[in-house]
Structure 1
Amino acid sequence: MTFTQLLSGFALPHALVGTVALVTFWTAGLARKGSPLHKGVGKVYMVAMIGVILTAIPLTASMALKGQWIGATFLAYLVILVSHSCRMAWLAVRCKRDFERYIGMGFRFSAIVLTVAGTAVVTVGLWFEAWLLIIFGLLGPLGGWDAWNLLRKGPQSPKWWLKEHYGAMIGNGVATHIAFMQIGLMRLVPELGSTVIQHLAWFGPLAVGIAAGYWLDRRYLRPRPTPVEPAV
């Protein structure tokens, strides 16, 4: 067995923990926020995502050794993007009463790495004329811009931590669903490899994620109207 074949052997464990992550993502997402089910399944999801990240690293190396540079770049970027989002989702809950701790050195370093990685992905996309890679890579600089705005403006709501938490989880969901449909599903059902389906696999999760973020912002962050006291 060659070294490349050994690295490729992580595909099955990656698929298994990825399936657990997808199931628990939707279970926690549909559960009532703050409920025991939401918290318990959310912890399982985070453990599964750690497994996804760890098994994706040798798969990325395997692609690079095979000369599959676009695939290796895409998967390496996903590892960075998902690692950043998982950390932010977990830390936002842990530090919901301590904003300064949340935006510590780890937050700043993670945002810088995400920005640099996204810029590198855009560069690779331009080099290979892979427009979908360019668009997906822009998520890195956009995430860095959001982090810089948070550092500059500070929390804009007492529920800042909630926005950070579900924002990171939406980012996780977009990334993992794109990876599942682009890598996992296309291999299981090659007939889906048409251009239209591939575009849907890229932009479908992104569109759903944007809509979900807008809906959650309106539900949890929109100021409630002040009740009018009846005239005496």
Structure 2
Amino acid sequence: MLAGMALFEALVVAHVATGAVGLTAFWGPIATKKGAARHRKWGRAACYGFLGAGTLAICMALLSLYGPEARHPEIEDRTLFEGLFGWMMLYLGILTIGFVDYGLAVVKHSRDRRMLRSPRYQTVIAAVVVSGAWCGYFGWQVGHPLMVLVAFIGILSMGIQQLYIWRTVDPPRQTYVGEHFRALIGMGISAYTAFLSVGLIRYVPEHVFNPAVWAGPSVIGVSLIIWFTLKGKKAAGPCASGVRPHPQ
């Protein structure tokens, strides 16, 4: 039992360390010029940090579900604890990895998006959908809307990705930029939500089941996606539809 607790605490420390890198570097690509060297540098740091944090979140979730002892015995609702810190944490870890994987892949295969149809990428998307469906079902069973909400957002995001991957007509050349952006914002949403749970349960346990607190990253992230999407369309103007303005 002591060994299990020591392992869990070590995972928490590593999760905080890698998550801190990702959470800090996440804002670099947003603030810097897209495609510039600093943008790519900050982006790589955020992706690697979130990959580590997502992997560790999966490990912590599995220990919470199948560990030899009950963690945080002060929480009386063990079913809801299992849902939020077991199944939802597991799903958020997989979702974070899925967003990172897709966000990098659309840039790597920007000239041939059909490469994203390979089992290598489709397996990751399927893992997100399956874990999200179970998270949403479990949340519905225990009456916790947050689990249903984050499951819906993740599954919807995977569906949007598949529309891009499997569309029969090639999209405009720069469409992959929007896919890249949305995926990495999604990465931030899932990572911030998972990372927030570690702090909530340790420092403000009275709000650990408060949906309003947990929903914060989703609200901010989706707002960023909408804002930057509208900004990009406005900047593109008539050229977005392939019509070039006549020179004055």
Do 2:116 and 2:122's aligned partners in 1 also have CA atoms closer than 8 Å? no
In structure 2, C-alpha distance between the alignment counterparts of 1:161 and 1:73, rounded to whole Å? 31
**TM-score for both structures, normalised by structure 1:** 0.86
Q: Within 5 A, what are the aligned runs for 1:1-232?
A: 2-9=2-9, 10-64=11-65, 65=67, 66=70, 68-70=81-83, 71-150=85-164, 151-181=166-196, 183-187=197-201, 189-190=203-204, 193=207, 198-221=210-233, 223-225=236-238, 226-229=244-247
Q: Deviations over 1:153-197 (max 9, x none)?
A: 55433212111111111111111122233x1332453177287xx
Q: Deviations over 1:103-124 (max 9, x none)?
A: 3333322222222211111111
**Shift of residue 51, structure 1, vs aligned partner:** 1.7
Q: Deviations over 1:40-70 (max 9, x none)?
A: 1211122212221232233112211236421
Do 1:119 and 1:140's aligned partners in 2 also have CA atoms closer than 8 Å? no
**Shift of residue 221, structure 1, vs aligned partner:** 4.6
Stretches (4+) displaced over 6 A:
none
Q: Specify the SS of the correspondent of 1:138.
A: helix
**Shift of residue 74, structure 1, vs aligned partner:** 1.1
**Shift of residue 229, structure 1, vs aligned partner:** 4.5
**Shift of residue 148, structure 1, vs aligned partner:** 3.4
Provide closer, same or farther for how the CA distance between residues 42 and 229 of structure 1 changes in structure 2, counting only shifts above 3 A: closer
In structure 1, C-alpha distance between the alignment counterparts of 2:119 and 2:29, rounded to whole Å? 29
Of residues 91-100 and 46-55 in structure 1, the stretch that sits farther from structure 2 once superposed is: 46-55
**TM-score for both structures, normalised by structure 2:** 0.81
- Aligned-pair Cα RMSD in Å: 2.3
Q: How many residues align?
A: 227
Provide closer, same or farther for how the CA distance between residues 16 and 203 of structure 1 changes in structure 2, counting only shifts above 3 A: same
Identity of paired residues, percent?
Answer: 19
**Shift of residue 140, structure 1, vs aligned partner:** 3.3
Gaps of 5+ in 2: 71-77, 239-243
In structure 2, C-alpha distance between the alignment counterparts of 1:57 and 1:124, rounded to whole Å? 17
Do 2:19 and 2:49's aligned partners in 1 also have CA atoms closer than 8 Å? yes
Q: Specify the SS of the correspondent of 2:237.
A: coil
Amino acid in the other structure paired with 2:171: Q
In structure 1, C-alpha distance between the alignment counterparts of 2:82 and 2:208, rounded to whole Å? 21
Amino acid in the other structure paired with 2:88: F
Amino acid in the other structure paired with 2:111: R
Amino acid in the other structure paired with 2:178: K
Do 1:63 and 1:69's aligned partners in 2 also have CA atoms closer than 8 Å? yes
In structure 1, C-alpha distance between the alignment counterparts of 2:91 and 2:169, rounded to whole Å? 28
